[in-house]
């Protein structure tokens, strides 16, 4: 399996230049908080990879059991998670069924590609080609026990940011996971994972849209130059079908444009999910993609109208030729019936007179 491609477009990069979370910049202690967290906690990678339209979670569980793992259903029918050990590192791996994504906490992209993706490769539904995978990474630190929390609280006692350490949040490009309660920590990771997978899932659709634009741009340029198109109506129908499929995956067949039902009943998880989505510019990116879909659909329909007019012209010419042929046929019958019959009658009369 080829390594997943990381997005090179800054608009799709998980690392953003602004931090709208908890209004930390208002107090001007973001950098100080990051430094304290990094002083006491180990920096780890979090890697997100979207490999398919979705995952068959029951099949994932079976495959993992067969390989000796102990997966648990963290959120029924939505997220399963299991512990993974590799190269001396231990981390949580989360598989999001509906988004077709795997989020690995504590493992870099190379490890994910070589050791983790293949574990549930056979459980993918509508798998993407390897060159269509989307992957992103972020850094995080994790409060794993009370002593770590107490050490940071003593160091940061006089700072207003201390009140945020009882939960998980984003500060700069860094994620803090509070896992002093392991169950709560897993749920916080799940909320972040949902936000990250939302971004890579959206990136897959953005890339599909870019490929469509690249393919149709050549046709548009030919039209602008008055070059005759060697385009069939079937090709135009396939093009508009691709656009409808992208729009459906964006707006109808997934939860990309809405908050998952679980988070409505869990205010803290909903807050993490929404802030992560805001941080990743999910809303503006969805609006931009829908705008591109609107324009491209209009463009394709215009091409279909041109092809329809072309077909109509051909049909009109065929009808004209048929009418002309029928007219010639009738004229021949008229000639045969009246002219030849009249001539034959005259010849007979001449013979009788003679």
**CA distances from residue 83 to 53, 141, 179 in whole angstroms, order as listed:** 24, 17, 15
User: In the prediction, which pLDDT does 12 show?
Assistant: 41
Under a CB-based contact definition with an 8 Å cutoff, are residues 26 and 171 in contact? Answer: no
Binned average pLDDT, 10 residues per bin, the chain of 354 residues: 50 40 50 77 95 96 96 93 93 96 96 95 95 93 86 72 77 88 93 95 96 88 79 83 93 84 82 91 95 92 76 75 84 72 65 62
Under a CB-based contact definition with an 8 Å cutoff, are residues 44 and 137 in contact? Answer: no
CA nearest to 169, candidates 208, 195, 201, 199: 195
Measured between alpha carbons, how far is 234 from 242 in angstroms, rounded to an integer? 12
**In whole angstroms, what separates CA 200 from the centre of its chain?**
7
Measured between alpha carbons, how far is 125 from 128 in angstroms, rounded to an integer? 9
User: In the prediction, which pLDDT does 24 show?
Assistant: 45
Beta-strand ranges (E) seen in 97-149 are 101-105, 124-127, 134-143
CA nearest to 136, candidates 286, 5, 249: 5
CA nearest to 77, candidates 93, 53, 61: 61
**In whole angstroms, what separates CA 223 from the centre of its chain?**
30
User: In the prediction, which pLDDT does 4 show?
Assistant: 56
* pLDDT 10s digits, 40-59: 889 999 999 999 999 999 99
Total-model pTM: 0.79
Beta-strand ranges (E) seen in 154-195 are 169-171, 174-178
* pLDDT 10s digits, 25-37: 444 556 777 777 8
Measured between alpha carbons, how far is 99 from 120 in angstroms, rounded to an integer? 14
User: In the prediction, which pLDDT does 312 show?
Assistant: 66
Residue 156 makes CB contacts below 8 A (sequence gap 6+) with 33, 36, 162, 165
User: Which H or E element spans position 49?
Assistant: strand 44-50
User: In the prediction, which pLDDT does 15 show?
Assistant: 42
Under a CB-based contact definition with an 8 Å cutoff, are residues 128 and 50 in contact? Answer: yes
């Amino acid at each position: 399996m080829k390594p997943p491609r990381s997005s090179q477009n800054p608009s799709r990069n998980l690392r953003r230049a602004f931090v709208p979370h908890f209004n930390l910049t208002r107090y001007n202690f973001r950098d100080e908080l990051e430094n304290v967290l990094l002083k006491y906690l180990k920096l780890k990678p979090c890697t997100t990879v979207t490999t398919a339209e979705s995952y068959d979670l029951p099949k994932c569980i079976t495959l993992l059991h067969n390989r000796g793992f102990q997966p648990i259903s963290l959120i029924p029918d939505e997220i399963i998670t299991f512990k993974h050990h590799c190269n001396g590192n231990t981390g949580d791996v989360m598989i999001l069924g509906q988004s077709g994504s795997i989020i690995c906490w504590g493992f870099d992209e190379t490890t994910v590609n070589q050791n983790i993706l293949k574990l549930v490769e056979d459980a993918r539904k509508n798998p993407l080609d390897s060159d269509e995978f989307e992957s992103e990474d972020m850094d995080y630190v994790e409060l794993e026990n009370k002593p770590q929390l107490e050490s940071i609280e003593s160091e940061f006692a006089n700072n207003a940011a201390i009140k945020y350490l009882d939960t998980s949040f984003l500060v700069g490009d860094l994620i803090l996971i509070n896992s002093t309660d392991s169950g709560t920590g897993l749920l916080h990771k799940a909320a972040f994972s949902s936000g990250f997978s939302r971004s890579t899932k959206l990136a897959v659709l953005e890339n599909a849209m870019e490929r469509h634009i690249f393919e149709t741009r050549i046709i548009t340029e030919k039209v602008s130059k008055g070059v005759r198109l060697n385009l069939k109506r079937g090709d135009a129908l396939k093009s508009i079908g691709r656009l409808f499929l992208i729009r459906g995956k964006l707006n109808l067949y997934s939860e990309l444009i809405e908050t998952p039902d679980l988070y409505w009943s869990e205010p803290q998880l909903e807050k993490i999910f929404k802030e992560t989505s805001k941080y990743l510019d999910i809303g503006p990116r969805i609006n931009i993609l829908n705008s591109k879909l609107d324009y491209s659909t209009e463009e394709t329909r215009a091409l279909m109208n041109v092809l329809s007019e072309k077909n109509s012209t051909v049909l009109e010419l065929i009808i004209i030729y048929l009418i002309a042929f029928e007219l010639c046929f009738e004229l021949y019958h008229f000639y045969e019936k009246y002219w030849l019959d009249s001539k034959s009658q005259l010849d007979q009369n001449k013979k009788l007179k003679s």
